[in-house]
Homo-oligomer: A and B are copies of this chain.
């Protein structure tokens, strides 16, 4: 299947019983501060606390019964792992989750809480992939990659459909980019529904492979990244980049201090808990990297999974 508006709408029908229709929130104070009209699509209020619930549910529920019975597998240390475990539990099939042994206990417990069968591995990409391949060979489970998967991309694009249903007149959508699953789905959905809309991606300067790739016209993977935005440390995927090159208007980068300031401002002003990755688009507004003056701007707030004992603005005792 190809990623297009049809597949995203099909995803939306498929996952509707399994996800929250998340609210969109606005803030007169933030609007006054930037001169634009900001609409926040709150995927931090989504199941598992992140938009990842959408793509995972779509990929799991799209499986044939025969394939589903053999289960699903993925390697992830973050929200995708919990989302796959949850979707598999809803379908009543096994989920094999390969996690690096240094994953936080909170994340491991979240996956366990949804009944995921966890296999810990060395914290390298090669070890993850090898462990996953072994499980798939032994069980016949279907690999559901966190972003290099068109069903996942289509699922992530459903947030943009809802956003444009609630706010049809948007001029611009701001979206973070890590692997590019959300960005590719969002850009495809938004440009198909409203061709005149602009889609601008935002990335931490400390993990700017997508911005560099976008400028170069080919993938520029980074060996190391350095950002508090843990959801965005991944290099962009090849199928995602193909869509991004075609449908995204620009990719800008932001500094760490702006990400933390944006996160805190949104907690204080909007009274929602968002993770650092979710603060990255608003950081671009704070830095003046995106001109929002007099524009109606949709912002995908990607997730809210943070360790409340380690907030970036609290000095450690």
Contact = CB atoms under 8 A, between A and B. Distances in A.
Contact of A271 (B264, B274, B309): B274
Contact of A273 (B271, B313, B314, B315): B271
Interface string A73-113: 00000000000000000000000000000000000000000
Contacts of A49: 271
Contacts of A25: 23, 45
Interface residues on A, range: 20 to 34
A47 interface: yes
A272 B274 contact: no
Contacts of A67: none
Contacts of A311: 308, 311, 314
A134 interface: no
6 contacts: A44-B271, A45-B270, A267-B308, A271-B273, A309-B313, A315-B317
B308 A264 contact: yes
Contacts of A271: 44-45, 49, 272-274, 304
Interface in A271-317: 271-274, 304, 308-309, 311, 313-317
Residues of A contacting B: mostly: loop
Contacts of A274: 271
Contact of A23 (B23, B28, B268, B317): B23
A308 B314 CA distance: 8
The 6 A-B residue pairs with the shortest CB-CB distance in the complex, in nearest-first order: A271-B304, A23-B23, A317-B317, A271-B273, A315-B317, A44-B271
Contacts of A268: 273, 308
Contacts of A313: 308-309
Interface centre among A47, A309, A314, A316 (most CB of B within 10 A): A314
A309 B26 CA distance: 24
Contacts of A44: 271
Interface in A46-65: 47, 49
